[in-house]
Amino acid sequence: MASNMNKFLAILAGILAIIAVIPIDFLSWWKADVDPSIGANFSNYITAFAQFYKWNGSSYDIIPLDNMYLITGILVIVGAVLLFAGGAKAIKALAFLGALITIAGPIVFLIAHNGNDVLSAWYNLYTRNLFFGTDTIALWDLGGSTTWYLNVGFFLPLGAGLLGFLSLKSNK
């Protein structure tokens, strides 16, 4: 890793990976937006550290999920640390390993999410496809619609991993 640009890309990749695990609605990894016909819209979401934020009408209940989800956040953090170290010390092997581990986080998330029986039980309609979709729902017999999808936090580590791999490019 000879150039300053390569170092910068590796450090930027590490920053993106760290941002991806911040447990807020906007940076969640999976989200379900519920739009009831009567009442206010709300969202339920999953963060990188195995927490499902389920709206109960006045606040969020935080429900812990399977440990496989927890591995997701850990992988992204470890990858970010290696990307920082690879960029700061100009060691391509660390940057490569960091990029690889950072990308492994979303892959583990997909595996964990695919087998999520908790969501399937709570939301009948999600049994078809847990990753994305939309449906009309009967919410308290009032009706409404819901849309669920992989959110911003899921895609940030993929971008971080790509930047990490780009930081390995030789300038010679």
| Tens digits of residue pLDDT in 116-171 | 666 665 655 445 677 777 776 665 556 677 788 899 999 999 999 999 998 888 65
Q: What is the model's pLDDT at position 98?
A: 92
Give the pLDDT confidence of 93-117 residue by residue, as tens digits.
888 999 999 999 999 998 888 766 6
Q: Which domains does the chain have, with CATH numbers?
A: 4-166 (1.20.140)
Per-residue H/E/C for the chain: CCCHHHHHHHHHHHHHHHHHCCCCCCCCCEEEEEEECCCCCEEEEECCCCEEEEECCCCEEEEECCHHHHHHHHHHHHHHHHHHHHHHHCCHHHHHHHHHHHHHHHHHHHHHHHCCHHHHHHCHHHHCCCCCEEEECCCCCCCEEEEEEECHHHHHHHHHHHHHHHCCCCCC
Q: How far is CA 123 from CA 58, 148, 164, in A?
A: 20, 11, 37
CA angle 44, 19, 45 (to 5 degrees): 5
2: pLDDT strictly greater than 70: no
pLDDT of residue 89: 79
Confidence at residue 37, expressed as pLDDT on a 0 to 100 scale: 66
Residue 90 pLDDT greater than 50, yes or no: yes
How high is the pLDDT of residue 8? 87
Q: What average pLDDT score do residues 23-44 get?
A: 80
Span 7-32, average pLDDT? 89
**Comparing 68 with 160, which gets the higher pLDDT?**
160
What pLDDT does residue 45 have? 86
